[in-house]
Amino acid sequence: MVHLSASSLLLAAGILPNLALGAGLDTAAVALGKLYFGTATDNPELTDTAYVTQLNNTNDFGQITPGNSQKWDATEPTQNTFTFTNGDTIAKLAEANGQKLRCHNLVWHNQLPSWVTSGTWTNATLVAALKNHITNVVTHYKGQCYAWDVVNEALNEDGTYRTSLWYETIGEAYLPIAFATAAAADPDVKLYYNDYNIEYSGSKATAAANIVKLIQSYGVKIDGVGLQAHFIVGSTPSKSNQASTMATYTALGVEVAITELDIRMTLPSTDALLAQQSTDYSNTVGACVETEGCVGVTIWDWTDKYSWVPSTFSGQGAACPWDENYAKKPAYTGILTALGGTATATSTTTSATGGSTTSTTTTSSSTSTSTGVAAHWGQCGGSGWTGPTVCATGYTCTYSNAWYSQCL
């Protein structure tokens, strides 16, 4: 006799586990005055019905970023021949759901077609190709995007400019040229500089601020700095450092957003790593909450099933707030509590008799038990908290931030 797992039985019955809807991440973010909480997505996973069900859940996601389908290789594979099919698919999905669209990206050193990387360029010819690409892509999506990541990852870790075709051929002027071209094509869209490891103080963050100043010195519009926030569990910058770094950007008259958040760990996942990951997510989202000019948070896909991490960082993964089976992880609770919300836990029981399958789903508060003792992962303290402050046996009430302590 073949014994099917509960998850296999659920899938066979066409039941989507762990996707109970309710007050979620975007609902909580907007209630705090943020514009959105969102996620990246990509075209291949849109064939996954269970995945799309959650992607369409606007309680959690009020914004979508196309992960790859608006990049140069996807939109201009041969010179002056443009294709927008895949990008349009995601744009239309966001529009149908009433979700904001963060468009990504116009100028990067990666994912360039061979006609760009193998071309023989002068300053003048490359500037012309750059302007032509940006004008066509931004014009096509005019009125659809909340923001464009205009230039992506222009900096080395020490704050110097990255060696790239753009910098070697045009010099630093390629940045204001790109921003000015995008602004001319769509005067209303927000224009961002986007990079990683600029979320905390240091030479790279200083250089990112200098990019803002450079573009402004040309009299060119720049509206925001995107903080990618690709972090490692247990090694993320403190909430106070992230908040103070955000303030260095907003002091220049621009907004900020967390644009590609995920927090990876060395596998296998453990309870201790998941608990630390929850704290790390809470601190990063909390920094945005504390920063008036931080408009929103985007996670770089919401489920481990489609995360970019394992294929890029050997032996690492489990970076997203939902696991590969679409179950919410403690990170979800960490995010939601940082946004001032209360998490729910969904449990599913399944039985099979004579080939039939039944399923019941119970949703209950994750913050306390009926005995007045907080369960594992439950909230046990924080500003305004009126629930239990004692944890179940074996767990300790651990401070996360001023609004949240958790039984770990």
Would you please indicate which residues are annotated as catalytic (active-site) residues?
260
34: Cβ–Cβ under 8 A, 6 or more apart, which residues? 288, 289, 294, 295, 296, 297
Q: Identity (one letter) of the amino acid at 398?
A: T
| Joined tokens for residue 360 | 């019941």
β-strands 397-401, 404-407: how paired? antiparallel
Which positions ≥6 away from 159 have C-beta within 8 Å?
202, 203, 204, 206, 207
Q: In angstroms, rounded to a whole number, what is the distance separating the alpha carbons of residues 277 and 279? A: 5
| CA 152 vs CA 105, 333, 401: distances in Å | 7, 30, 32
- For 233, other C-beta atoms within 10 Å of its C-beta total 24
222: nearest Cα among 195, 171, 182: 182
E-assigned strand segments in 253-383: 255-266, 294-299, 316-317, 344-353, 356-365, 379-381
Residue 277 · residue 330 · CB < 8 Å: yes
